[in-house]
Structure formats: structure tokens, C-alpha cells
Structure 1
Amino acid sequence: MTGRLTLAATPIGNVGDASARLREALEQADLIAAEDTRRVKDLARRLDLTITAETIAVHDHNERDRAADLVDRAAGGSWVVLVSDAGMPTVSDPGFRVVEAATAAGVEVDVLPGPSAVLTALALSGLPTDRFCFEGFLPRKEGEKASALAALTAEPRTMVFFEAPHRLAATLTAMAQAWGGNRAAAVSRELTKTYEQTKRGGLADLAQWATDESPRGEIVITVAGRPAEAPTLETLVAEVLSRVESGERAKDAVADLATTSGVPRRELYSAVLAARGGTGK
């Protein structure tokens, strides 16, 4: 068999999702490049398989250095199988640099498809799936996160994000501030595992739930894109007035809704003033 590089998807939680092709690859590969060698050996144990191939670690910190060696091994006739800890390599996991080097060298690259947290969460979300984008992890720093969310304000496609459980409440709150608390979303955790859960609702409600419940496990956030039809000025004014009655400052509510709707802030504020008889507090 000629040498090649194979990207092999691994279970994201339930080991029963391992494909027959994945089993074959783990047993017959010449070299297994794993994000964590301990994880792939544990996977083999749970699948009752015996790995005889050389196994090396390829992760974010050494992938650039290891890529050339892996490509050389494949070019020399070895079957090199690349796996991440869970799901598909290269999707928010190591693998891109290896594939890039392999394609540049003319080495065959194939894929053993399998479980995907992105697609699983998208299917469970109840949100439109005809068009979507994967945004991975948002920046950790508040300012950078706010800028990233602002750049997605006009995104019409359903958006999928990964997030750490201890940052979930803060991220959902930031999303609600950027896109409006009523924007439809879903939070999925522990997909395919015993305590799998998907919580659906508006961003503000989900942020409160995350604050109160502190959900644990691996998290995927799915958020609806910006509605195709922007709300009318009258609808926006009514939303501002409702939020003012709940204790929010009119200027803050106007700034938020102007950002998420695309309506000029001055125009919306003037309409709110008119509706309140000239009072802008």
C-alpha cells in the first residue's frame, strides 16, 4: 500500500460511535500521530484493540516542527494516521499544518469521517442549518471578545462556538450585550455522553441559566444569525421603553439595539425621546 496521511475522526464522548474504519486504522497504521498519546491508547483499550504502530504526540506546541517528519514518513511509504483527542483533526484541533505540508509535498491525504461536536450541536439546536459558520473559541480578553462579537453583528448564518464551562456565563452575557438578549441560541454540553444536555432560549435567559447552574463539561454554543428582516423603528422603540421600565437607562438600551439592528443610534434615540415626550433618562 502506498504511503498516505489519514485524518481519523474519534468519538466525542460515546466510544460506541467509533467507526469500523477507525478501528482498522488504529490497528494497521504504521505511525499514529495523536494530540495526546495517552488518550489514543485509552481509546484503543476501550475498543479492545491493540496498537502496534509507533505513536507520537502532535499538538499545538510542536505541530509545526513535527509536520515535515510526518510528511516524510508518508512519502516514504508509511500509513500515517492523525487523530485528535475527540472529533475531527484540524477542526479547532491540531492537524492543519500537517495537511498543509502534505498537500504541498504531493502526499495523498484522506479522511475517515466520524463524530463532530460542531454538527451534532447544530443539529440539536433547533436553529437554521442550511447556512452556518464555525467560529471556534472566542478570545479570552474582554476587549478582544467584544471586538470579535461586534464583527459578527451582521452575520446572517447560524454561528457555532466552543467554550470552556468556567467562561460560559460571561460569554453568553457578552453575546447578549452584542446581539440582544432575545437572540435565539442553544447551549449543548457533554454531547453523546451520559449527562448530555441542550438548553435552548434567548441569550439573556441562557446567560442567567449558566450563572445559576454553572454547567460543566465540554460546551458548544449555537446562535442564530441576524434576522433577514430588521425590526421596524416602532418595534425598537417599544423594546427600549420596555427595558427602561425594567430599570435600564434609555441611552444604554438605545446603544445596544442600534448596534444589533443596524438602525442609526441618533435616529432611534430621537424616536424614543418623541415617544417619551422629550424625556431621555
Structure 2
Amino acid sequence: MVATPIGNLRDLSSRARDVLAQVDLIAAEDTRVTGQLLKHLGIGTPMLSLREHNERAMAEKLVARLAEGAAIAQVSDAGTPAISDPGAHLVAAVHAAGLPVVPIPGASALTTGLCAAGFTCPHTLFYGFLPPKRAQRQAALAPLAELPYVLVCYEAPHRIVETLDDLVALFGGDRPAVLARELTKTFETIRRAPLAELALFVRADTNQQRGEFVLLLDAAPPRPAATAADAHDTVLAPLVAELPLKQAVALAQSITGAPRNALYARALQLKETD
């Protein structure tokens, strides 16, 4: 599994270059894209296409070649294979056959964007590509808004404006975020700002709506810790609304174990509020 550059060709490691030159076969996501890289490197290793739609069928054939002693490198168009790119099914099949899998590390848009974001939360949730349709995208994002993790996702240029609008609506315009565009390429953009500001920035400049995007959102701020009184209210309030005061307090005490006098005083406040 060979990582290839996500833009700047000088990011290819010497180990990756050697492997691509020495293997018997390269399984490439798009042979035309990988062909350009191999031409730049002066490498003539044979290639075949292994993409999302044929990976399961090709995996069986490649495992058979490996079992015969062939050495095969798998690459995606850019970055580390099997991370939001083809490769995972092939790796699983190779493991199942009891054959070795050797990762050749290198560029990844995930780690490249994350190291440039400056978020101090030690935990990260990598979503990958968000759903293309707006309703599905919003449904996927909604449960992520309050998680205590940095959220990293990829997005395509023709959806970036809508996706930023969805993030503002669901995460709030003040959530710190980073837009990382065209990483390691000539027109690289890394901009950190509140989500609402990023959405305006991209909408106002069509040049910022081109290329490949990594979106990074800071972890949700911690919620204030619930007090014991808050927890008791969850039990007490509906009881006070439906039962006589003494009965409500007695039942709430049996459930929560809280002091009767405190519950009674709070019940009186709830009653007065009602």
C-alpha cells in the first residue's frame, strides 16, 4: 500500500519510489493519473485499474497473483490508499489469504490538514466524504455537532458552498473551523476562522470554490455540568404537574433519594412558577 503525493511530487518518499519501480504490478485507481506520476519518475512498471466499482472482483485476482509470488503495489490517485479511496477490500482479502500487507506511508490530506489546523483537542473524528445530497448531509452532520472531537471531512468543489451553509446552520456560525484547499499545490489555501466567516469567504470568491477541500471543525465546547437540582427537577417537575404536592414530593424522594425538605421547597417553587 503505497502513499503518493496529494499535490507536490517532491513529497513522494524515496522508499515509495523504489517500491513502485521494483514491484511486478501496480494496481492503480486511475491508470492515467498514476501513469503521469510514473512518467515523471521514469518508471515503467505495468499497471491495471483497481477502482471503487471493480475492487471486490479484482481483489480475488490480485490475491491469486500474490500467492504465486508476485509483488504488487496498490495506489490511489493521490494520498494514502484505503482512506476515502479504494484499497480496503483488497487489504482485507490479502489478510484473509494469510499474505503480508506492507504499508508505505506518505502524504494524506487528513493528516496534512489536521497538522495545519492548530486545534488542541487530542481526539479526532474523520468522517471522509459527506453525503452529496443536502437532506442526507444534514442528517449525517446533526448528531456530530455536539461531539467532543475535532471533525475532519472532505468535500468536492461543486458542493463546498452548500456544505459550509449546512455546517453554519447545524454547528453554529461561531464554531472555529479551518478550510484547507488544494493542499501542497500551487494555490494552496489554509484559512482558520469561525464557520460563518469561512462561508462568506468562499461564497465571495469563486477561486475559493475550486479544487479539493478538507474541512476541519474544532470540538464542541463542553456543556455546563448538570447540578443535582437540575437532575431532581427532571423527576420532580412532571410529578408536581400531575399529583398533589405531598404525593409528588414523596414519590420524587423515593426515586432520587434526595432530602425531603429540599424537594418540598423546590416543589413549592415549581408550583408557583406554574
Which band: TM-score by shorter chain?
Answer: 0.7 to 0.9
What is the CA RMSD across the aligned residues, in angstroms? 1.5
- Of residues 94, 102, 111 in structure 2, which corresponds to 1:110? 102
What pairs with 1:121-160 in structure 2 (closer than 5 Å)?
121-128=113-120, 130-160=122-152
What pairs with 1:20-169 in structure 2 (closer than 5 Å)?
20-47=14-41, 49-51=42-44, 53-128=45-120, 130-169=122-161
Kept in 1, the 8 Å contact 2:121–2:219? The answer is no
Give the AA of the match of 2:43: T
Query: Larger helix proportion, structure 1 or 2?
Result: 2
Kept in 2, the 8 Å contact 1:11–1:17? The answer is yes
- Of residues 172, 175, 187 in structure 2, which corresponds to 1:183? 175
Q: Aligned equivalents of 2:191 and 2:150: distance in 1? A: 16
In the superposition, the TM-score normalised over structure 2's length comes to: 0.79
What pairs with 1:148-227 in structure 2 (closer than 5 Å)?
148-214=140-206, 215=208, 216-227=210-221
- What displacement does 1:231 show? 10
- What displacement does 1:54 show? 2.6
Q: Aligned equivalents of 1:24 and 1:177: distance in 2? A: 48
1:9 matches 2:3: yes
SS where residue 216 of structure 2 aligns?
Answer: strand
Q: In structure 2, what is the equivalent of residue 260 of structure 1?
A: none
Q: Aligned equivalents of 2:134 and 2:20: distance in 1? A: 42
Kept in 2, the 8 Å contact 1:122–1:129? The answer is no
- What displacement does 1:230 show? 4.4
Kept in 2, the 8 Å contact 1:186–1:222? The answer is yes
- What displacement does 1:50 show? 2.0
Number of aligned pairs?
224
Give % identity: 43
Cα separation, partners in 2 of 1:76 and 1:57, compared to 1, 3 Å: same
Cα separation, partners in 2 of 1:183 and 1:230, compared to 1, 3 Å: farther
- What displacement does 1:228 show? 2.1
Q: Aligned equivalents of 2:158 and 2:202: distance in 1? A: 9
- What displacement does 1:139 show? 0.8
Structure 2 gap segments, 5+ residues each: 227-274
Kept in 2, the 8 Å contact 1:8–1:82? The answer is yes
In the superposition, the TM-score normalised over structure 1's length comes to: 0.77
